Chains A and B, each alone.
Chain A
């Protein structure tokens, strides 16, 4: 019920369309440029670019989730209901993930159908790459929820989440020390992009998401008291 409430709220705000249209257009352009530029049915480069796009856009979806409710006072109304803070935080995260998936999935099905018509995509690799992208989405949504739970300002929540995401991404580049790279999102999406499901990567994404959501939950608990 809480997730449905989040989804309904997302689709009734102009923000979803303002952010969603460029997200879809850019995602489509990446797909087109990979297909036409590389002339291959391999979608690895597309997924790599899509994941980076998620780091940039998901904070715009998540910035409202708790910060706006705090500012308008509706958070207090929500918290007096007989639901736990954990359920609220989880519903917020699930709402963001469901919103982004609802935006991207139809387009993605169209992309895969195009590739299947023109070439011979490796569906196993596509499945692994999709799982990797969903894991990135869950983690960045959790980062966004945490930032949104810490401030009343949506701008600050978005900027904080964006900064964290970019930092976690840059750790995976040549700019960072080899050991720091193991903490980066980039490092942990690499295996999925090549078609491997790694337990360590699952642990990284799920572990961090749980920790971040638990901290956000603590913030809500403090508010209820």
Chain B
């Protein structure tokens, strides 16, 4: 910025010098100085004014939804980045949503001089798109500190989440709970794909037993329970409750036909014993399957998910207590169609919930406090993460979103989604009338005015 300012000033000074030198003799020094001084002072004043400023401090966002303004959460994440962050957005200009998305990406560049942004058209640079393993238009790659992260959508939640992953001091650690017949990421239990996905997401994982230590989940960013088949022992239950009652984060996927699972769930969430059937949403070749394409809440987990999601076979329904404890929110993440059934009961049923409890707790000495947060993602089925099924529809993204939501420190869920301009619906008659009124009418009116002016002049 400073270099550019000097170039700016230098050019102005050079122009002024050349002109002054030519006019000096003809005009006299006083006149030249009197004329050149005000603009020179103005340039200097502008330079002094502009120099120490960063662009973001002196901008007003006048758009309806303040689409160019990033949240304070994002500002904090970007400020904490110690090294350069390079954002490469793969867009085809003119694609739907491109305008809004590019405005958001450019807003990151304005936040900090350490953020560098470039836009790549994958149609013009297919080699670069291949190098970055771009799967679809609109993906954004974020690089820095020798690492690379990916955001599937060029919006604030995804991009800030990717920067956060990039700037984390260490990889998040997931602890897979064992000892109750749970599945863990390996070939034997059919979770090979899950293990690979965790590697790609730069998440570490290990297995833990609740029975073997008093604080088995210490050092874990989130615990994962995949289809427990045996009830918890009393000591295990106490440890699990202590974990969730503190700042524990957990993914609990339940399996139909198992024992009473309520001990795994936080207060305010319970699970039905009978599986859900939803003939209305079933696949043609698998009527038993439940395809859930209905998302109960706008959340970081289900946002922008493809409109279908497969649960096979027969998930359990989740119940939530709306009169839960204070500071707790339980989001309805995945719901069935109104035709779903459990036994004789019919209606819209909850299949997945996001439990979020936050509160202020003491932090060290001196009366300091901090926000404590516990989160649990509960889904009444485990088969959807198995090899062969995790690849189906949008299962992989649901899994990734849920894990990210659990291990994040920041509450990115609070970042509001920016509404994209709805497409303009043009009929062929609309198109014709716009063509006439924009391309033909204005020049025709000007031509008419010209003819009238010429005629009036000739008459005079």
Contact = CB atoms under 8 A, between A and B. Distances in A.
Given A114-B437, A120-B421, A179-B4, A12 B453 contact: yes
Interface string A135-166: 00000000000000000000000000000000
Nearest to A26: B439
Nearest to A37: B94
30 contacts: A11-B449, A14-B454, A20-B443, A20-B446, A22-B443, A29-B438, A32-B435, A35-B426, A36-B426, A38-B96, A39-B425, A40-B99, A41-B421, A111-B438, A114-B438, A118-B424, A122-B67, A179-B7, A182-B8, A191-B55, A194-B102, A198-B59, A199-B53, A199-B58, A210-B39, A210-B42, A218-B19, A221-B23, A221-B27, A222-B23
B431 interface: yes
Interface of B: 1, 3-4, 7-8, 11-12, 15-16, 19-20, 23, 26-27, 31-32, 35-36, 38-39, 42-43, 46, 49-50, 53, 55, 58-65, 67-68, 93-94, 96, 99-100, 102-103, 106, 421-426, 430-431, 434-435, 437-443, 445-447, 449-450, 453-454, 457
Contacts of A40: 96, 99, 421, 423-424
Interface in A67-117: 103, 106-107, 110-111, 114-115
Contacts of A211: 12, 15-16, 39, 42-43
Contacts of A191: 55, 59
Contacts, number: 193
Q: Of A17, A111, A196, which is in contact with the most chain B CB atoms at under 10 Å from its CB? A: A196
Contacts of B442: 24-25, 27-28, 106-107, 110
A61 interface: no
A103 B446 contact: yes
Contacts of A218: 19-20, 23, 27, 32, 35-36
Interface of A: 11-12, 14, 16-17, 20-22, 24-25, 27-29, 31-32, 35-42, 44-45, 103, 106-107, 110-111, 114-115, 118-120, 122-125, 127-128, 179-180, 182-183, 190-191, 194-200, 203, 207, 210-211, 214-215, 217-219, 221-222, 225
Given A35-B426, A37-B94, A214-B35, A183 B60 contact: no
A221 B64 contact: no
Q: Which 3 A-B pairs have the closest CB atoms?
A: A182-B4, A17-B450, A195-B63
Interface of B is mostly: helix
Given A36-B434, A110-B437, A118-B430, 12 more contacts: A12-B453, A24-B442, A25-B443, A39-B96, A119-B421, A179-B3, A195-B103, A196-B61, A207-B43, A211-B16, A215-B15, A218-B32
